[in-house]
Amino acid sequence: MGKSAIVIGAGIAGLAVARALAVKGYSVKVFERSQKAVGASIRNFGMIWPIGQPSGKLYEHAVRSRNIWKEISNSGIFWSGSTGSLHLAYEPDEWMVLQELFQLFEKERKVQLLAPEQIATRSEAAVQKNMLGGLFSEEELIVDPREAIAALPGYLHEQYGIDFYWGKCVRSVSENTIHIGLAEKHQTDIIFICSGTDIETLYPEAHSKHALTKCKLQMMRLAAQPQKWKIGPALCGGLSLIHYISFKAASSLQQLKQRFGRDMKEYLEWGIHVMVSQNGTGELTIGDSHEYGLTHDPFDKEFINKMIMDYLRKFAYFKDWSITETWNGLYTKHMNGDPYLFFSPDPGVYILNALGGAGMTLSFGLAEDIIEAI
C-alpha cells in the first residue's frame, strides 16, 4: 500500500502541497475548517508575478508556478490571461530604476524597455501625459483568485484523487494523527499544516519561536469595463518599485526611496503601492496597502482607499471607475525578511506558511521543491 498524507488548509499553499504530494504517489486528504476557501488566497490581485521575485530559487519557483497555473487553466476550469506586466515611469528617478532593472534582467527574463509611443500600442489604459517610459515583462499571468481557488479542489480530486473535507476544524495533531471535534480522528504517514493566519492554533509554542507578524491589506474591485474594453498588461506605478524584492538589485532604487520618503511619506506609512489587474469578465482589481501587526482593526479605512484611487489616476485611465466591492485580507509574514516559513515541529509533521503575500506566485513551484527534498 502507498503512503498517505493529510494537508490542513485549502488555500493556495495547501492546494499546491496536496498536488505535489499526489504527484509523488501519496494518497492525499485535505481538511479545511471553512466550507470553502475564504482567506488570503481569494483576496488578492490574482497575479502570478515572476517579475517580483529575485534571481535564483524564488524566481525559478515563480516561473514553475506560472507554468502549472497555465497548464491547469488550459483544462478549461478557470480563465487565465498571459497579459504580462507593465511598470510605468513618470519621474526621472523612476525611469532610471527601470532602465537599470532592464539591464539586470534582460539576460534571464523576457523584458523590454518601452518608449511612451510603444506603450500606447500595448495599453490604452496607461496615462500618456508626462510618461517617460516603462518596463514590460511578458512572464506574468492573471487569474481571478475567487474563480480559480474555488475550481482547483474539483480539478485536484478528478486528476489526482485528492479528497477534500470541508467544515472540519482540526483541533490538535499528535503522533501522525489529526483530531477533529471530540472524537473524530484520522491517521496518516505525513501531515502538512498550511493554515495561513491560523498557524498559531495548532503549534503555538513553535509559532512563538518564529519572528512572524500579520499583514492587513485593503483592496477594491471596479466594474467590468464597457464593450469588453481591455487594459492589456497589469499596470504598476512607481511606488511598486520599492515593494518587490527583485527590484532591490537596482542601485538607483535608494534615490527613489529617498524622494518617496520626502514627498509621499503618508503612502509609505500605510505601505501603499498601487497596481491594477483585469479578470476574464473585464472587472478591475486594484490596491493595495500594508499594515503590520498581530491584531488588526477589522474595518477598512476609507482614506486609504482614496489614496490608492488618487495615485492610480496618475498612471491609469479606465472607461468605468465604478467601485463594486471593497475588502481587506490578512496574510502571515516573516519579520526577518525570509520569503516563507518551512519547518518540522514533530516527526512526520511539516508547516508551510508565511509566504508574505506571494502565495499565488510561489506555491506550486515551492511545494514541488519541498516535497522532492523530504
Q: What is the pLDDT of residues 232-259, one digit of tens each?
A: 999 999 999 999 999 999 999 999 999 9
Same domain for 91 and 228: yes
- Is 58 part of a structural domain of the chain? no
Q: How many domains does the chain have?
A: 2
One domain for residues 134 and 157: no
Biggest CA–CA distance in the chain, Å, is 67
Cross-strand partners of 191? 6, 349
List the grid coordinates of 136: 514590460
- Are 116 and 228 members of one domain? yes
Q: Identify the pLDDT of residue 1.
A: 62
Chain-centroid distance, C-alpha 202: 24
The 3 state secondary structure assigned to 283-309 is CEEEECCCEEECCCCCCCCHHHHHHHH
pTM beyond 0.85: yes
Dist. CA 223–CA 281, nearest whole Å: 9
The CATH number for 22's domain is: 3.50.50.60
Q: Does 51 reside within a domain?
A: no
77 within some domain: no
Range of the domain at 17: 4-44+146-210+338-373
The answer to whether 240 and 234 are in contact (CB under 8 A) is no
Q: Does residue 89 share a domain with residue 222?
A: yes
Residue type, 23: V
C-alpha cell at 68: 502549472
Nearest CA among 140, 153, 184, 225 for reference residue 9:
153
Profile the chain (374 residues) by mean pLDDT over runs of 10 residues.
93 98 98 96 97 97 98 98 98 98 97 98 97 98 98 98 97 94 96 87 83 94 98 98 96 97 97 98 97 94 98 98 97 91 94 95 98 95
In a domain, 353, yes or no: yes
Residue 232 belongs to domain with CATH number: 3.30.9.10
User: What are the pLDDT digits (tens) for 297-340?
Assistant: 999 999 999 999 999 999 999 999 999 999 999 999 988 889 99
Q: Is residue 60 part of a domain?
A: no
Count the residues in the chain: 374
CA geometry: angle at 246 spanning 359 and 109, to 5°?
95
- Is 292 part of any domain? yes
| Terminal Cα distance for the chain, rounded | 20
Residues 307, 218 share a domain = yes
- Residue 100 inside a domain? The answer is yes
Angle subtended at Cα 84 by Cα 78 and Cα 88, rounded to the nearest 5 degrees: 135
Residue 132 and residue 162 in one domain:
no
Report if residue 179 sits inside a domain. yes
**Same domain membership, residue 330 and residue 291:** yes
83-95: pLDDT as tens digits: 999 999 999 999 9
Regarding whether 272 and 330 lie in a shared domain, the answer is yes
Q: Which of helix, strand or coil describes residue 12?
A: helix
The conformational region for residue 345 under phi > 0 = left, psi -120 to 50 = alpha, else beta, is alpha
Peptide bond before residue 288 is cis, with ω within 30 degrees of 0:
yes
Do 153 and 274 lie in one domain? The reply is no
Q: What angle is formed at CA 229 by the lines to CA 227 and CA 233, rounded to 5 degrees?
A: 165
Asked if residue 105 and residue 224 are part of one domain, the reply reads: yes
Whether residues 237 and 91 share a domain: the answer is yes
Bridge partner residues of 15 (DSSP): none
Pick from 370, 373, 6, 374: nearest CA to 184: 6
Q: Are 354 and 195 in contact (CB under 8 A)?
A: no
Q: Are 139 and 66 in contact (CB under 8 A)?
A: yes
Contact 8, 195 (CB under 8 A): yes
Let me know whether 181 and 291 are in one domain: no
